Every structure is written in structure tokens, then in C-alpha cells.
Chain A
Amino acid sequence: MKACVIVFPGSNCDRDLQVALRNAMGAEPEMVWHGDSTFDDVDLITVPGGFSYGDYLRAGAMAAKSPVMREIIRRAGKGVPVLGICNGFQVLTESGLLPGALMRNANLKYVCRDVHLKVEATDTPFTQGYGNGGVLRIPVAHHDGNYFADDDLLDELQDNDQVAFRYSDANGDLTDDANPNGSRRNIAGILSRDRNVLGMMPHPERLADPALGGTDGKAMFSGLVEALS
């Protein structure tokens, strides 16, 4: 399996993602600079967290128009899996690869802590490592993670089973208290209609090794390797 990590000026989780992918694949992912309009054929494209272009205009707005994104949109259209984490999720919504938008957290605070996630879809290469679902503990670290979509779009996402993760308590209950940012219907991660693009605010790569204090993020990467090798 071959994977790449897209690097924008201001990305800061690219190396974490590189390590998580390397450990899962047993091979080195390719690091692709945002100004490159083409890169090697890969089985998985990942867009990391950070503050691409300093969050100018809107988080992810500038990165979504960079040369490399045109190529990513083209390949996503052909079915290549694309994973966007945190700022990567913001970039994917801004580029139109995923529906909805990520707004300023409802409490206006930067939130940096572990949250619980209920796995809502396991029939994708990104989430098949989670077997029958369950509840994960994964860190979030963001200021603009408040997922917004209007009621019609939210219903559509639900009907098409496009919600991959929701914020929950440790028991998997979708409470308001468990929602760290005001996201509508506790949405933490969504899939594209064709299910080959996943965007999520929490950081699985930050909890993918016992040395980091937990391994709940690891199954995402091992599942991807299993699905795409």
C-alpha cells in the first residue's frame, strides 16, 4: 500500500500522521508539498491538521484552492480514498469534497482534550478496523470544529449513512455535554456520498501508540492498510 501526506504552509500534524502511517504500513508515506500539481499514484491521500495559511479568510479556505487540491479532487472523483483530519476536514469541506462547513466553536474557545466518539459507520476503509463500532477515546484540538449543515442536508447525511463519527459520552450516548464544539447532531466526522472521502475533527494519529497514552486511533490506520493493500 502507498500513501501520501499533503503538507501546506502551517500544517502541524503532518509528521504525526507520517509516523502513524509508517507504523501501520511498515513503509514510508510520501510527503507532498501543496504547490505540487501532481504526485505519485497512491492508494490513500491524507490531509493533516494544523493551521494551513494561518486560517486566513476561513479555516481551510486558502488551502482548498492550492494546486495540489485540484489533483486531489480529480483523484477523489476516481475513487481514491482521501482522509482529512482537523484542518484537513476543514480543507475538504472548503474544497467541496465534503458537504457542510466547520464554524467557530459555539463556546468560542479553543478545545484541546480527549473526547469520546461513537463509531457510526464501519463499512468504509477508514473505519472497518473498528469492527462492529463502539466508543473511542480520541483527542480534539481545534477552534473551528463546529460542524454546520442545514436540516435538509443533515437528514440527507443520515439517510445516506454518511455520518462516520459522533461525539458521545463514554457509554456512547449522544449528549449535549459530550459535544465539545456545538456541532449539529454531535457530528464529528462525515463521509462523502461515494464513501471514499472521510473528514473528521478528532485526531486518531495522536492516540495510535501506547507511548502517546492510548491506541484507540490505531485501528483506523491498520484498517486502512488491511483494506487498501
Chain B
Amino acid sequence: MKAKIHVTLKQGVLDPQGKAVQHALGSLGFTGVEDVRQGKFIELELSETDETKARADLEEMCKLLLANTVIENYSIEIA
């Protein structure tokens, strides 16, 4: 099965890259962009067929490596 993981910065953590992207969009004439937060999107192909087990594994993967939970949140989607 396929899993999709979004890693995003937590509320309150400054995102200077997002800010730079927001400014660049503004200079391109997109004046209505009020905020930009940049994150990561990770796609995994899993051999596991049991969705509950897969979800438990993915949680561990996120906590141990894919996200740094000091500064990042993650969300898991199984397709």
C-alpha cells in the first residue's frame, strides 16, 4: 500500500523559507498571500497489507526519523 506523509513546522516555529516564498509571490503580483508555511511531503510504498499495522509503523517512522517532533508536526495518509 501507499502512504503519504506531510511534515509541517509547528505553530510558533518561525519559517524563514516560507516568508521568503511569500515575499517572492508578492513581488510576482500575488498580493493576497497572507502567509506561507513550507514543509515536506514523503511518499512510501509499503509491503504491509494490514492498515492498522501499517499506521502503527508509520507513526514510529515519523517519530524516529521522518519528522523532528521538537519543531515539526506530521500527518499520515494511507491510500
Contact = CB atoms under 8 A, between A and B. Distances in A.
B68 A58 contact: yes
A107 B17 CA distance: 9
Contact of A104 (B12, B17, B68): B17
B76 interface: no
A100 B17 CA distance: 20
A205 interface: no
Given A106-B14, A108-B20, A100 B66 contact: no
Given A101-B71, A150-B12, A108 B17 contact: yes
Nearest to A100: B70
Contacts of A150: 12
Interface in A94-120: 94, 99-101, 103-108
Interface size band for A: 10 to 19
Contacts, number: 33
21 contacts: A57-B65, A57-B66, A61-B65, A61-B68, A65-B65, A94-B68, A100-B70, A101-B70, A101-B71, A103-B13, A103-B14, A103-B71, A104-B16, A106-B14, A107-B16, A108-B17, A148-B13, A148-B70, A149-B70, A150-B12, A182-B14
A108 B12 CA distance: 18
Interface residues of B, number: 12
Given A57-B66, A65-B64, A105-B16, 12 more contacts: A58-B68, A61-B65, A94-B68, A99-B70, A100-B70, A101-B70, A103-B13, A103-B71, A108-B16, A148-B70, A150-B12, A182-B14
Interface string B3-23: 000000000111011001000
Contacts of A108: 16-17, 20
Nearest to A184: B14
B64 to A, nearest CB: 7
B6 to A, nearest CB: 14
Interface in B36-79: 64-66, 68, 70-71
Contacts of B71: 101, 103, 148
A180 to B, nearest CB: 14
A11 B68 CA distance: 22
Contacts of B66: 57
Contacts of A93: 70
Max chain A CB contacts within 10 Å: which of B12, B17, B20, B70?
Answer: B70
Interface string A55-92: 00110010001000000000000000000000000000
B44 to A, nearest CB: 13
Interface in A151-193: 182
A57 B13 CA distance: 18
B16 A182 contact: yes
Nearest to A62: B65
Contacts of B65: 57, 61, 65
